[in-house]
Chain A
C-alpha cells in the first residue's frame, strides 16, 4: 500500500493543552403557542 506523508507532522515545536470552548446551546425553536382554551360559557341565570 502506498503511504503518503501520513505520520509525518514535521518537527514538533510546541506542546499545548487545549481546553475546548463549549459549544453554544442550539437556539431552540420557540414552542408552538398552545391552543387557547376554549371558552366555556358560564351557566346562565346563576
Chain B
C-alpha cells in the first residue's frame, strides 16, 4: 500500500526564473504551478535544459525565485534548511571525511550516543555496514550514492530533493538503487521530489510524474501513477500503458529504429 497523499507540503504558484546570459535574458522557468502532498513521491521529468534542476534548487532555497512563490508547510522558502535535504549526484559527499563522519555530518547538535545510534541505523539501512571507516575515494559510485542518501536521511528531514541522484551510475546499479529508494521512501514516509531525464526511471519509482518541456521550461503534463502499487511489475499492462503515455508526452517513440 502506498501512503495516501494528504495535505499539500510543497506549493508552487506562478514560479518564474530568468538567467542573464551575456546580454540575453533567458527565461528558464515559465509559470510553474504544482502542489506536492505530504509523503508523496513526485518525479520532475524533462529533457536537459528544461529547468527541472533549477526548479528543485529553488525549492531547496539555493536559487532565488524571480516571480511567484514557493511555500513549504505554508511558509515561503527562504534559503536552505535542514528539514529539507538535497541529494546531489555522487559528488555531494565530502571526500575528506570517512563514511561515518559524512553520515553524521548533520548531527552536530546531538549527543555522542544519539549520533552513534542514528548514524549506525542509516548505515545499516543503505547497506554500508563494515564501510564506516572507509573514505569516499575507496567506494564505488553506487556506494557513494548510498552514503549521500544516508547522510540526508540521518537528519530526519520532511522533504528529500533528489537531483538525478543515479545519473552517474551504471545501469545495473541504477536499477538496484531505484528499488532501494522506493523501499526507503516507504519505510521513512518522506516527501520526495526527484528530478530525472530518464522516462523509465520516473515510471518505476514515482507516484506522480510532472513532465516538463524545454525553453522556456514549462510544466506540460502531470501523469498520475498512484494506481500502480509498489513493487511494480515492469511487465504489467498498466505499467506499460503508463510508460507509453510518458514516452508520448516527452515526444519520443517507443519503437527504436522506427522511421
Q: Decide whether A and B are members of one complex.
A: no
Interface residues of chain A, those whose CB is within 8 Å of chain B, are none
Residue positions of B touching A, CB distance < 8 A = none
